[in-house]
Homo-oligomer: A and B are copies of this chain.
Amino acid sequence: MRPTIPVARVPIDLGDRSYDILIGTDLLDHPTSFDDLPRARDAVIVTNDVVGPLFSERLSVTLRSRYDRVSTISLPDGESHKDLATLNTIFDSLLERGADRQTTLFALGGGVIGDITGFAAACYMRGVPYVQVPTTLLSQVDSSVGGKTAVNHPLGKNMIGVFNQPLRVITDLTALQTLPQRELIAGLAEVIKYGPIADEAFLDWIEAHLEDLLRRDVGALTYAIKRSCEIKASVVGVDERESGLRAILNFGHTFGHAIEAGLGFGKWLHGEAVGCGMVMAADLSTRLGLVDPASARRLTRVIERAGLPIAGPALGVARYLELMRLDKKAEAGAIRFVVLSGPGRADVRTAPDELVAEVITAHTR
């Protein structure tokens, strides 16, 4: 009899693209984590040169009990390599090793690895299966739900990609124990996000347990990841292709993307930019008269306590506006902002340039 281990499970209900998120400790080492995946000759782990040395041998050993051939593609680490050129090196490697249409890809790493591997899986021979094995807090609470895959373009982040759901997400909490503190904090930005946009009680919980999360308490992390995935799943379940509601998940991201693009991708971590972006978006919500200033101050305080930046780089108002007009949510040149519209409630709308300029001026230095 094979050993069983305690696993939290979040089912993602998307019809014939439904899948489960498994959350637990040492899941990488347990063959049961991989039960019921479709048969294939080849498993290919796609990882990077930082995460690979830590976990890919463990994953390989477990996968060898299910696949005839297990190999690893290691990409250079970092957002700056999330581009078409790196994507193409995955295709090169898959073709060179004779990967076929059943070959299953395992994305072992953070959001960059998940996004680029999911995109590669969508396009290789017009689609092969893939499994997410997220190793950063940010990817565990964000990219593991929603099926968004992409690479960056010099003119915009995540501009090139497709929607492609994984077969399964295997969230091994052990990976968080070796995560640099800066990355853990960046991941907390996306955890915090789910409170103000969808669940005021979750924001209360985060406020009360922020210290536990920062010192990587396994129980607190498990709850934070599970609840984040549940909230994201409930939103994505209603709007898989981001035609409406799903856009609220981008709270903080319109300002945040401008920061990332303006500085050059990779300078700030995505979560850091989103943290600061949420401060700006909450302030915009206040200036639009949608929420009282106390709500914005409360959120700003949580973001600051987490160790996230609450002021953006001084790129200039014009540059911020220019970069935000390139946002994918923009329509016919009008920037669409995710704003708070009440406790645990968000909405998408446009805003006068003058008001946006005030926000930028108030929160950059």
Is A195 part of the binding interface, using a Cβ–Cβ cutoff of 8 Å? no
Complexed CA–CA distance, A84 and B91 (Å): 11
A244 to chain B, nearest CB (A): 12
User: What is the interface size of chain A, counting residues whose CB is below 8 A from a CB of the partner?
Assistant: 37
Interface assignment of A155: CB less than 8 Å from any CB of chain B: yes
Please give me the residue from chain B that is nearest to A120 by CB atom: B160
User: Which residues from 132 to 183 on chain A have a C-beta closer than 8 Å to any C-beta of chain B?
Assistant: 148, 150, 153, 155-156, 158-163
Most buried by B among A100, A148, A328: A100
Chain A interface residues (CB < 8 Å from chain B): 41, 84, 88, 91-92, 95-96, 98, 100-102, 122-127, 148, 150, 153, 155-156, 158-163, 241-242, 325-326, 328, 330-333
User: In the complex, which residue of chain B has the Cβ closest to the Cβ of A325?
Assistant: B98
Note all chain B residues with C-beta closer than 8 A to A101: 328, 331
Whether B153 contacts A100 by the Cβ 8 Å rule is no
Give the docked Cα–Cα distance between A127 and B240 (Å). Answer: 13
Question: Which B residues lie within 8 Å of A330 (CB)?
Answer: 100
State the copy count for this chain: 2
Secondary structure class of chain A's binding surface, majority of residues: mixed
The CA of A325 and the CA of B95, in the complex, are separated in Å by 11
Q: Report whether B155 and A332 are in contact in the complex, using a CB–CB cutoff of 8 Å.
A: no
Could you say which residues of chain B place their CB within 8 Å of the CB of A325?
Answer: 98
A333 to B91, CA, bound (A): 18
**What B residues does A122 contact at CB under 8 A?**
162
Chain B contacts for A153, CB-based, 8 A: 91-92, 95
Partner among B127, B160, B242 whose Cβ is within 8 Å of the Cβ of A124: B160
Q: Is the CB of B333 within 8 A of A98?
A: yes
User: Are B161 and A123 within 8 A (Cβ)?
Assistant: yes
From B41, B123, B158, B242, give the contact of A332 (CB < 8 A): B41
A326 touches B162 (CB 8 A): no
Interface contacts beyond A41-B332, A123-B162, A126-B328: sample of 15 additional A-B pairs, CB < 8 Å, sorted by A: A84-B84, A91-B153, A92-B153, A95-B153, A95-B326, A96-B155, A98-B333, A100-B330, A102-B331, A102-B332, A123-B160, A123-B161, A125-B328, A126-B158, A162-B162
Most-contacted residue by chain B among A123, A162, A325 (CB, 10 A): A123
A150–B163 Cα distance when bound, in Å, is 17
**Interchain CB contact under 8 A, B100 and A159:** no
Check B127–A163 contact: CB distance below 8 A: yes
Given A95-B326, A98-B325, A155-B96, check contact A150 B126 (CB 8 Å). yes
CA distance A188 to B123 in the complex (A): 29
Contact in complex: A156, B100 (CB < 8 Å): no
**Interchain CA distance A242-B92 in the complex, whole Å:** 23
Shortest Cβ gap from A134 to chain B (Å): 20
Query: Can you pick out 18 interface pairs between chain A and chain B where the beta carbons lie within 8 Å of each other?
Result: A84-B84, A84-B88, A91-B153, A91-B159, A91-B160, A95-B326, A96-B155, A98-B333, A100-B330, A100-B332, A100-B333, A123-B162, A126-B150, A126-B162, A126-B163, A126-B242, A126-B328, A127-B163
